Amino acid sequence: MNDERIAIFGATSAIAADVARVYAQRGAKLYLVGRNREKLAALAGELGAAVIGSAVQDFERTDAAEACVGAAASALGHFDVALIAHGLLGDQLQSERELSEAERIARTNYMSVVALLIPLVNRLEEQRGGHLAVLSTVAAERGRPRNYTYAAAKSALNTYLQGVRSRLYPAHVQVHTIKLGPVDTPMTETHAKSWLFSRSADVARQIVAAIDAGKPEAFVPRFWRPIMFTVRNLPELLFQRVSALSRR
């Protein structure tokens, strides 16, 4: 039997719920944390005996993060995988006019994640093993007018994870930054869809595969790696002339 112990923070997002399904199908035991009580109860009911605990958590309450992680650790006994999957696109135009919206985006995508990372990293370091994975975005590779407030917060998170990865290397803990391309989920329901959008279930399988393979940084789907290498390295004057990159 598979005795993997998996904690998912942000489990009620579409992608995280599909990740939970992948782990449940292979026999892992799950502890699920999410913001939406109804969605969390529905997911736990669907996965049945695979779920050994769950909790409703407002991730904006950073003062409650340590207790949240402690409850997950108590229920699971140890972490084979801890996945942080919550985030917020926010309103880019509003964030350019109102500091409160910029702060909301930065707090959700950076500070609320760091609040979970601090107790998780400390526990994994003491545990001396396991995987820590965080969902990020290809948007963080370069600031673009359409989403640079969100991208900047995720870029800061990616830098933080680089430091965590090196810190935890001697403790044999693997840290994974999962850089997602756009996915067709409720989070992007107002976005015009193109061939670049992936299905949540497909993305979930690739996330689990990247963690299994021990990839420090994984572009999901993989075709985003060469695309973002090009975007990241375009000279500024050329970048600004490419409307597909520099327009709203």
Query: What pLDDT digit, counting tens, does each position of 80-101 carry?
Result: 999 999 999 999 999 999 999 9
pLDDT for the residue 243 = 81
pLDDT for the residue 120 = 98
Contact 116, 68 (CB under 8 A): yes
For the chain, what's the residue count?
A: 248
- Measure the CA–CA gap between 102 and 94, rounded to whole angstroms: 8
**Which residues, 6 or more positions from 234, have their beta carbon under 8 angstroms from its beta carbon?**
242, 245
pLDDT for the residue 24 = 97
**Which residues, 6 or more positions from 55, have their beta carbon under 8 angstroms from its beta carbon?**
31, 32, 33, 68, 71, 72
- Measure the CA–CA gap between 27 and 92, rounded to whole angstroms: 41
pLDDT for the residue 126 = 97
Convert the pLDDT of each residue in 216-239 to its tens digit. 999 999 999 999 999 999 999 888
Q: How confident is the model at residue 22 (pLDDT cuts 50, 70, 90)?
A: very high
Mean pLDDT in residue range 201-221? 96
- How many Cα atoms occupy the beta-carbon half-sphere of 159 within 13 Å? 9
Contact 142, 184 (CB under 8 A): no
Q: How confident is the model at residue 198 (pLDDT cuts 50, 70, 90)?
A: confident
Least confident of 149-153, 206-210, 240-244: 240-244
- Measure the CA–CA gap between 239 and 231, rounded to whole angstroms: 8
Mean pLDDT in residue range 31-60? 96
pLDDT at residue 2 above 80? no
pLDDT at residue 39 above 60? yes
pLDDT for the residue 1 = 52
Provide the mean pLDDT of the chain. Answer: 93
pLDDT for the residue 186 = 65
pLDDT for the residue 189 = 55
- Pairwise pLDDT comparison (138 vs 237), residue with the higher score: 138
Mean pLDDT in residue range 128-151? 96
pLDDT for the residue 242 = 85
Strands 5-9 and 51-56: unpaired
**Which residues, 6 or more positions from 100, have their beta carbon under 8 angstroms from its beta carbon?**
none
Mean pLDDT in residue range 113-137? 98
Amino acid occupying residue 91: D
pLDDT for the residue 196 = 73
- Measure the CA–CA gap between 205 and 197, rounded to whole angstroms: 15
Rounded to 5°, angle at Cα 235 from 233 and 236: 115
Largest CA distance in the chain: 56
Set out the domains of the chain in order of their start, with CATH numbers.
5-246 (3.40.50.720)
Is 0.95 topped by the overall pTM? no
Amino acid occupying residue 18: D
Convert the pLDDT of each residue in 100-115 to its tens digit. 999 999 999 999 999 9
- Measure the CA–CA gap between 110 and 70, rounded to whole angstroms: 20
Least confident of 38-42, 138-142, 156-160, 181-185: 181-185
Question: 43-49 — which CB contacts under 8 Å span 24+ positions?
Answer: 43/11, 43/12, 43/17, 46/21, 47/20, 47/21
